[in-house]
Structure 1
Amino acid sequence: MSANRPIKVIAVTGGKGGVGKTNMSVNLSVALAELNRRVVLMDADLGLANVDVLLGLQARYTIADVLDGSKTLRDVLLNGPGGVKVVPASSGVQQMTALSPQEHAALIYAFNELSEQMDVLVIDTAAGISDTVVSFVRAAQEAIIVVCDEPSSITDAYALIKILNVDHGVFRFRVIANMTRSNQEGINLFNKLNAVCERFLDASLQYLGNVPFDENVRKAVQKRQPLIQFAPRSKAANAVRAMAQKIDQWPVQASARGHLEFFLERLLTADVSGY
């Protein structure tokens, strides 16, 4: 296997809050780790961190310490469940919500020092359509959009897709329907979003699947555990595992796309003979 083996970089986003985006990021990360992938989960909600809270982890240092130069990314890494490494964000630090383009670039480049330690980077973005969200999604290879059965979820997801597509040339989006009451509801949600995107945008949406509403999700959050460890045989956990297996099969991007992205140096020198 090549030392320059490309790394799969996945941004999990959703337009609005409350759709279960962070829960999805956490559980997909643990499910990918179960497939023997070395996974790093980045909390990219830079001013309102919640990945460490969700997992009951104590973050001594955060991304804020990396940006001010006092710590490296290695210094702030936390050991999460199932072997997942977590890069925690800061909470209640307002200046972290409005980073300059230079600070964004510095943070994205900082991940190069971890490139030998991971196969997959999962980025849990903030809610909304801020420059921060757009910057991280654009720097990833894959954008997963989480939606649920609320009109504002669909409209906000569309708004995010539109900005990424029209202004930043992102063409491919994967969609997860969360907290569904049936498989058909998930398909209907995807079709609703896809119909609008097909009509107005030059974007390709692909349906990754649905996660059924499951009371175990709330219980797992209360226990500060990932759902797939708290209730490993639950319907929702099975759904997440099935999606992680699909994600694991996605081909890894092995060439640069001409803008700022994670592990750019590695892409520029990639030898994909190991694939």
Structure 2
Amino acid sequence: MDQAEGLRRMRARKPVKVIAVASGKGGVGKTNVVVNLAIALAQLGARPLVFDADLGLGNIDILLGLSPRYNLSHVLSGERRIDEVLVRGPQDILILPAASGIANMAILDAQARAALVHAVSSLDLAVDFLLIDTAAGIAGDVLTFSCAAQDLMVVVSNEPASITDAYALIKVLSRDYGQRRFRILPNMVRDAREGQLLFQRVAAVADRYLDVTLDLVGSIPLDPALRGAVRAQRAVVELYPSSPAAGAFRALAHTVRNWPMPQGPSGHLEFFVEQLVGGSSVVQGA
């Protein structure tokens, strides 16, 4: 494809809202949030693509009981095109599966990252949301994806390590990479009040030491239905649609759907790719 054709196709595409979902600590339910948010958005008529960006320990396919034959490692090796790796999940959501248990996928250099994101941008798909499930922590890939996305949602649970690590992630992204706005999602809380108090704890420290804006986007209750859905390898919004957790995910989907869609070239996947490739070199040199 020549440059003129590439530009023509870019202008013809509709804007895509790119949202990275991160957490300072593992075990806070981040991947569950991504899966259920994607399905809830699809139930509202949106067309989400889920990018499992936990490149060495991806598990979205496991959470949904899928068995993809290929994954991102096959794209990077040149064995498969990226469209051959995509799998369909519930409500016809599209999933780009990561490798699991392949160590070198977790330590990609800048060139490999560039190849990966260019492969993502080559997808000619009618999607309007790209949800990126990052790895936990503050490793290079997490920072790269977080900086490139238009919105960053930080998932936090009500335990000291989760709160401390969520603050550490926000601090690094704001201090070293100029990120100023963060969406905060309390997860596994008893009720909305506990979610509000948890948000206030994070915001109080951030307001004191950082120049950032934190937005509370809702909260997800600790619901036995979630455990049952995980055991059944199903999304709670499908398996237990009347559960409190499913209701919270639907409310979150409504909130996310109402976020402004990007306008102009910055709203296309190509711009996301440019940001991602540029961010890779910055993070590599950090």
Cα 1:265–1:250 change in 2 (3 A) is: closer
Helix, strand or coil for the counterpart of 1:116?
A: coil
Select which of 95, 98, 104 maps to 2:104.
95
1:195-217 superposed Cα distances (whole Å, 9 cap, x missing partner): 11111111111000111110010
Deviation at 1:5, TM superposition (A): 2.0
Residue 203, structure 1, aligned to residue 212, structure 2:
yes
Report the 3-state secondary structure (helix = DSSP H, G, I; strand = E; otherwise coil) of the residue aligned with 1:59: coil
Superimposed CA distance per residue, residues 149-190 of structure 1 (whole angstroms, 9 cap, x where no aligned partner)? 101101100111111111111111101111111211100110
- Which of 58, 68, 86 is the equivalent residue of 1:49? 58
Is the aligned partner of 1:27 residue 2:36?
yes
Deviates more, 1:113-122 or 1:220-229: 113-122
Number of the residue aligned with 1:263: 270
Specify every segment of 5 or more residues in structure 2 that has no aligned partner in the other structure, as ranges: 1-10, 276-286
> Which amino acid counterpart does residue 203 of structure 1 have in structure 2?
V
| Contact 2:72 2:96 survives alignment (8 Å) | yes
1:219 aligns with 2:213: no
Aligned-partner residue type, residue 270 of structure 2: F
**Counterpart amino acid of 2:249?**
V
CA apart distance, 1:266: 9.4
Give the CA deviation at 1:109.
2.1
Query: 1:65 maps to which residue?
Result: 74
Whole-angstrom distance in 1 between the partners of 2:154 and 2:53: 15
Q: Is the 8 A contact 2:118 2:273 kept in 1?
A: no
The CA deviation at 1:244 is: 0.5
Q: Matched residues in 1 for 2:119 and 2:22: separation?
A: 22
Conserved 8 A contact 2:23-2:136 = yes
**Candidates 119, 137, 141, aligned match of 2:128:** 119
Equivalent-residue separation in structure 2 for 1:90 and 1:267 (angstroms): 23
User: Structure 1 residue 256: deviation in Å?
Assistant: 6.4
CA distance in 1, matches of 2:93, 2:16: 15
Q: For residue 80 of structure 1, what is the amino acid of its counterpart?
A: G
Alignment of 1:140-151 (within 5 A): 140-151=149-160
Structure 1, unpaired ranges of 5+: 269-275
Contact 2:148 2:272 in 1 (8 A): no
Letter of the 1:264 counterpart: F
Query: How much does 1:263 deviate?
Result: 2.6
Alignment of 1:11 onto 2:23: no
User: C-alpha separation between the residues in 2 aligned to 1:138 and 1:265?
Assistant: 10
- CA deviations 1:229-257 (Å, max 9, x no partner) are 01001011001100110100101223567
Secondary structure (helix, strand or coil) at the match of 2:15 reads coil
TM-superposed deviation, 1:113: 2.0
Q: Percentage identity across aligned positions?
A: 45
Residues 113/205 of structure 1: CA separation in 2 closer, same or farther (3 Å cut): same
Instruction: List aligned pairs for 1:61-210, cutoff 5 A.
Output: 61-210=70-219
| TM-score relative to the length of structure 2 | 0.88
Contact between 1:7 and 1:115, CA under 8 Å: does it hold in 2? no
8 Å contact kept, 1:256–1:267: no
Equivalent-residue separation in structure 2 for 1:67 and 1:157 (angstroms):
31
Residues paired across the two proteins, number: 264
TM-score by length of 1: 0.92
Label 1:162 to 1:256 Cα distance change in 2 as closer, same or farther (>3 A).
farther
Q: SS of 2:28's equivalent?
A: coil
Which residue does 2:284 correspond to in 1? none
Residue 51 of structure 2: SS of its match in structure 1?
A: strand
The structure carrying a bigger helix percent of its residues is 2
